[in-house]
Structure 1
Amino acid sequence: MIVDDDKPAREALYEMVLTAGYKAAAAPSAESALEILARHPVELVLTDIHMPDMNGLELTAAVKERFDADVVVLTGFADSHTYEEAIGRGASDFLLKPVRLPELKARIQRVFRERRLWKEREALMEQLKKLSITDGLTNLYNRRHFYRQLSTEANRAERYGRVLSLLFFDVDSFKKFNDTYGHLAGDEALKSIARATENCLRVADSIFRYGGEEFAVLLPETSGEQAIIAGQRLRNDIDQLRLAISEEETAKVTVSIGVTEFSPGEEMERCVKRADMAMYNSKRSGGNQVQFIPPDE
């Protein structure tokens, strides 16, 4: 988008941008440019500095604060504004008028190239971040992220006086399942359990593959009593799963679930140990059930 209060200069730059092979829009003021940006996606703004009301440097700062767009500042007064001043406001480049087409084209290409590289880098960093907190088999959060998230949720619950519950569950007789049907079937079973858990619980709940066939769930804004109900619902949903072993054969799995409620001020590890103990109480009692240990035990 070209922004210039001087109509001949604006129209000339508009034609140059079209000649360079790009689509363009034009605005006679910074205010009208911001209105266009609010309605339409724009990747690059070419703005003059000297304009009434809001000048090009002020527009640059506003664009960088509010929109995902690069800005190139143009001026015919090299002595009154500097490259450093424009860059300091967030501009990607600084051009002196009169602008020549080859130079304009080269500058636009450079800005778009750097923009593309920046977005690729952002996407890569986001992917690496996701990989660092995600279990590769189930696509659930992993154990490392569990402790980070538990710390965040525990601090929030304590600060605002909210309830928080923790649920651990383990697949019953999973070694026997693997020995009977093979490890590939075991992996598919874990993925099916992960999907069933996601479908059963709320969007606000965080689900983790804690390790092997063990899973953990953080339930914010959930009392121990409510978490028991959620655990029973999850136990039933997994009990109803029918896992395809072959075209003719299906298998089923059950889970042992342990539930506890976070007590404000307690160490996180105590809460984790309680949920883990409740889960093993379920296992020792025959599996396919939910057991609860309150915070004061």
Structure 2
Amino acid sequence: MNSSAMPMVYFVAPNAEHFDDIQSQLSLFGFDCQVFTRNSAILAAMHTQPPFAVVVDELGLSDANSKKCVPLISRLSKGPVIFLSNAHSIAEQIDLMRNGVTDFLPKPFNPQQLIDRLDSLQEQARPDPFRVLIVDDSEAVARWTCGVLSDAGMLSKHIQNPLEVILLIERMKPDIILMDVYMPECSGDEIAKIIRQNKQYDSIPIVFLSTETHRGKQLMARSMGGDDFLVKNMEPEELVASITITAERYRQLRRWMTRDSLTALLNHTNIIEELTREVARAHKECRQLSYAMVDIDHFKLINDRHGHMVGDRVIKSLSRLLRGGMGKPNSVGRYGGEEFAVILSDQTMMRAAQKLDELRQSFSQLTQISTDSGEFHSTVSIGVAQLQDGQTAQQLIDAADRALYQAKAAGRNQVGLAT
């Protein structure tokens, strides 16, 4: 990753040496770091290059305690200010928050805790814009609606022919559908009923947008598969607020339904469904497609020796590396236990293997921390297969699984290629 594109994290502490290992660990996860030990240096840096986040040790700086430096840093910070400390009372935490602290982490802490918090803060800072599909035969109404949503930072697409809605859903993957009720080809409630026949679209809310004000007719339309009913010509702010509330709620519901609770990656069912779609697309469009199985070596031994909480942290550290390394959020899933599935679209087996081998090396460099046994390192074995003509998704999975078995049989901590 290009360091210029890496989010910057500033550490504020009286001693820089303690953060050497943390800096190297964060860099593997795509964060750039600088440590400051003097007040003038951190304030100058905040002026010239405001960071994504500032992490302040409760000991403060070599020439200023935390009570003095935190208010100054928070006034210059455009992002979160994370405070590392031993136990503080609620009153003390409130006082720190009033001075600009936004988050707290206990000491001693391991890099994974900080990475988890930074990931969460990044997601909050840069949420994906809502994608809105507008189905309306009126060009004028749709143009006004698109303009309002665009001004609010949403991505919108308009179709006049409701019979094209399924094709557009597949292409756009909208967060929400705005549907006119009365259209020449068919009614909005009829199209909503057709959409609801497809179980994969159950988590997409349908909001009817119409001039209809009769409450009984509104409820009738909603009973056909709609989730809300908005009257046309409402105030722009009300339209944006209504769509935002509904889309955000359903986005969270989709996340709970499709994502693994520990890693936030696609769960087993949904990564297989995603692979099936990618296989069909690759065959149809004559595209390259590779698929990989990634397995943590000797994971049972990690659980037995260090405990399941440490095992969970190892799983999370690998999932974070895979998610960051692949780029596409739906290209990585937790296949089960300590096994992960990776979809590499438009890539040959050799290029996919090279990319995954880099991730394998990065993972082996991560310092895992056990409270009982100290630090240790973990490794992974990987099997990679490339889609062949006429091959099904299950056959591709089987090929990658055989390659994974070969990697383990050859001594683990390596990449195996399907033959």
TM over 0.5, shorter chain: yes
- Which residue identity is paired with 1:68? L
**Bigger CA drift: 245-254 or 205-214?**
245-254
CA contact (8 A) 1:205 1:219 kept: no
| Candidates 101, 121, 130, aligned match of 2:255 | 130
Q: C-alpha root-mean-square deviation of aligned residues, in Å? A: 3.2
Counterpart code for 1:239: S
Q: Corresponding residue for 2:398? A: 273
Q: CA deviation at 1:203?
A: 3.9
- Structure 2 CA distance, aligned partners of 1:223 and 1:242? 31
Note closer, same or farther for the CA distance 1:111–1:220 as it changes in structure 2 (3 Å cut): closer
* Deviation of the 1:142 alpha carbon: 1.2
Q: Distance in 1 between matches of 2:393 and 2:142?
A: 44
1:160 is aligned to 285
- Write the distance in 1 (CA, Å) between the matches of 2:414 and 2:181: 63
Contact 1:170 1:213 in 2 (8 A): yes
What SS does structure 1 have at the residue aligned with 2:321? helix
Q: Distance in 1 between matches of 2:313 and 2:321?
A: 12
**Residue 67 of structure 1 aligns to a residue in which SS?**
helix
Matched letter for residue 375 of structure 2? T
Deviation string 1:56-81 (CA, Å, 9 cap, x unpaired) is x8743532355339xxxxxxxxxxxx
Residue 67 (structure 1) aligned to one of 139, 148, 156: 148
Shift of 1:136: 0.6
Match of 2:350 among 214, 219, 225: 225
2:338 maps to 213
Shift of 1:173: 0.6
Q: Does 1:243 align with 2:350?
A: no
Matched, 1:188 2:269: no
Q: When the two structures are superposed, what TM-score results if normalisation uses the length of structure 2? A: 0.45
Alignment of 1:59-138 (within 5 A): 59-64=140-145, 66-68=147-149, 88=182, 90=209, 116=241, 119-138=244-263
Give deviations 1:120-171, integer Å, cap 9, x for gaps: 3332222111211111101111111111111121122112211100010111
Of structures 1 and 2, the larger Rg is shown by 1
Match for 1:64: what amino acid? T
Query: Where does residue 197 of structure 1 map in the other structure?
Result: 322
**Identity %, equivalent residues:** 29
Q: 1:235 deviation in Å?
A: 1.4
Question: How far apart, CA to CA, are the structure 2 residues paired with 1:194 and 1:128?
Answer: 21
The separation in 2 between residues aligned to 1:108 and 1:273, in whole angstroms, is: 55
Residues 229 and 64 of structure 1: CA distance in aligned 2, closer, same or farther (over 3 Å): same
For residues 39-78 of structure 1, the aligned pairs below 5 Å read 59-64=140-145, 66-68=147-149
1:134·1:141 contact (CA, 8 Å) conserved in 2? yes
- Are the equivalent residues in 1 in contact too, given 2:306–2:372 (CA < 8 A)? no
1:131/1:160 CA distance change after superposition, 3 Å: same
The answer to whether the Cα contact below 8 Å between 1:200 and 1:237 also exists between their aligned partners in 2 is no
Unaligned runs of 5+ in 2: 1-137, 151-179, 184-208, 214-231
Instruction: Find the residue that maps to 1:68 and give its secondary structure.
Output: helix
Q: CA deviation at 1:111?
A: 9.6
Q: Which amino acid aligns with 2:382?
A: I
**Alpha-carbon distance in structure 2 between the residues aligned to 1:87 and 1:278:** 53
Cα distance, 1:93 vs. partner?
7.2
Query: Which structure carries more relative contact order (alpha carbon 8 Å, separation 6+)?
Result: 1
Aligned length: 210
Aligned partners of 2:276 and 2:393 also within 8 Å: yes
CA 1:112–1:233: 2 relative to 1, 3 Å: closer
